[in-house]
Every structure is written in C-alpha cells, then in structure tokens.
Amino acid sequence: MEQRKLGRNGPQVSALGLGCMGLSFAYGLAVDKQQGIALIRAAVERGVTFFDTAEVYGPYANEELVGEALAPFRGQVVIATKFGFDLDPETGAQRGLNSRPEHVKQVAEASLKRLKVEAIDLFYQHRVDDQVPIEDVAGAVQDLIRAGKVKYFGLSEAGVQTIRRAHAVQPVTALQSEYSLWWREPEREVLAVCEELGIGFVPYSPLGRGFLTGAIDENTQLGKNDFRNSLPRFSPEARKANKTLVELLRGIAQRKGATPAQIALAWLLAQKPWIVPIPGTTKLQRLEENLGAASVKLSAEDLREIENAATKIEVQGARYPEHLQKLVGR
C-alpha cells in the first residue's frame, strides 16, 4: 500500500490506517478477543502499518487487544493511543477530563504495559482540557519524549489556537479529528494550520460512523448499546434526509466500479497527501473493501463533480449532543 508521511517530521505510515475502537467499544458488544486479534493481523498482512487505540476504549481492553495482536510486528507498525480522560480506577467509568502533567505520565506508563511496547509511537491528547494550560500538557509529553517513552505528540479535536500554542512548546506531529464528506468543518481553519505547521491530519469516522457506506438507512435498528443512538445525526429523520449524500457516492461508485465507502475514502485521500484516514470495522470483508479505496483514483473532474453536488446537500442533525459538542474545537 502507498505510504504517507505523518507530518513534516513524523513517521511513514500506510495511506489508510485502522481505527480499532469499534472492536471493544461504542458500537455495541465487543468482539471476541481472538476475532479482534485476527482482524488486526489481517490488516497488517494487507499492508496497514498504522493502528489507533486509546485507554478509554473499553476502557483499557482495546489497548490490551491491540498490544497482543501487534506483538509479533514490533518495529514494523506505528501505534497511536490517547490520554486525557479521568477514569474511575475501580470501574473505568469516565469522570470528566484530566490532562494534568502527572496524570499524563501515569497514563503513559499504563499504556506502555498494555501495548507491550517500550515507547508509544504517537500519544494524542484525546480532548482539550480547559483546566490545564496546553503548554503544560505539551511539556509533559515533551518530558516523555526526552525519556524515550513517547516518540511523537498529537492532539485530537483541538482548535487552531490550541494547536499553535501546543506546537510552540512541543511540535505536534498529527491532529486527529472527525472529517468526511458529511463533516467538513476542519476545512474552515484547521487544515490550513496543519499545512502551515507541517502537522499530519488523521480523519476519524471517515465513513460517517458507517453511514456513508450505504449500509444504514432510516429503518436500520442499531443495538441498544450503540453510541450512535445518542447522536442527533442518527435519528431516523436525519438518516432519511441524509440518504441524498449516500446516493451521490453510490452514483460515482457505480461509474468507477467501486463502493460508496471506497469513494468516500478516496475523496479524503485526494484532499491532501498528508491526510491518513483510519476507518474502523469488525469484519474482514469491510476491511478489504476499505483498503481497496487506496487503489481508487479520482480525477480532478470527479472531485469537482463531488464538490459541486455535495455543496448543494445540507446534512441534517448535529454530529454530537450538546454535552459532547462542548469538548471539541477548543
């Protein structure tokens, strides 16, 4: 698979990574451990070298799964994980944010053990913590880098001023934020700042949490533990209204001999050479479908057609409920 450089001074990774969250968290029941390991190793066999996890996924279970699955491939893959939530040590329940320097360092030590690595390749602040100056957070990660426990520093869902302030203390290698044809907010300011500062951009939910694959409509029943049930954009009314975007992708896909998911991912890959999407899945056939997007080439004319049609479609429904929306873009 094509390789891309993550940021001006970051690592080389596969053009498409694997978001591992859904194997343990958010979309209903966790998969069987051996099934999860098999899927992650299948991704390696198909050329994926970039894997994304976080302590909060599970919590803890996803890092343990990724650590075990990738143990045979040390030095061949790049693993990203995240800090920044305050988790109850007994139950793992989220109690808010915590990016105090001493906590960041404690999380790093625990993540190293779960991932079975000597250094965390890419350590993201999961959400900006208004109670801790970002300079202190960047300084804590800088200490970890100097100690050889972390290689690169990242931010997730940070606003442009936070990015600039953090980068002035410790260069930011990558920003991970939601970005897809149905959430294009990063185009307003963030992508330009990433380009200026030489920061790679890692879109999560590049398939709109599964919606852009065309497999979900207003009649789809999501499991009772599925996080998407809480998202306004996944109300039945919004799903019905947002099918227009999927139809656009389906029309282009038919012409290209591809699938809607592949067109959505190919569109992201075509935006900038330093963008590395991390679609997630629990199924081998979906993994293969997603990775096939790296071979789909969209011409300038294709991209213009998508742009012209997409700008006429107003996506319905907020991407997060209000209490979660307050945590992004800070």
90 pLDDT band, cuts 50/70/90, is confident
- Give the percent of the chain with pLDDT over 70: 100
Q: Mind listing the pLDDT tens digit for each residue in 185-242?
A: 999 999 999 999 999 999 999 999 999 999 999 999 999 999 999 999 999 999 999 9
249 pLDDT band, cuts 50/70/90, is very high
- Write down the pLDDT at residue 89: 86
Check whether 298 has a pLDDT greater than 90: yes
Q: Mind listing the pLDDT tens digit for each residue in 20-41?
A: 999 999 998 999 999 999 999 9
Q: Mind listing the pLDDT tens digit for each residue in 7-17?
A: 999 999 999 99
Give me 30's structure tokens.
């966790």
For range 60-70, the mean pLDDT = 98
Catalytic residues: 57
**Nearest alpha carbon to residue 262 among 274, 242, 277:** 277
- Write down the pLDDT at residue 318: 97
Structural domains in the chain, CATH included, are 3-325 (3.20.20.100)
Average model confidence (pLDDT) for the chain? Answer: 97
Is the pTM of the predicted complex or chain greater than 0.85?
Answer: yes
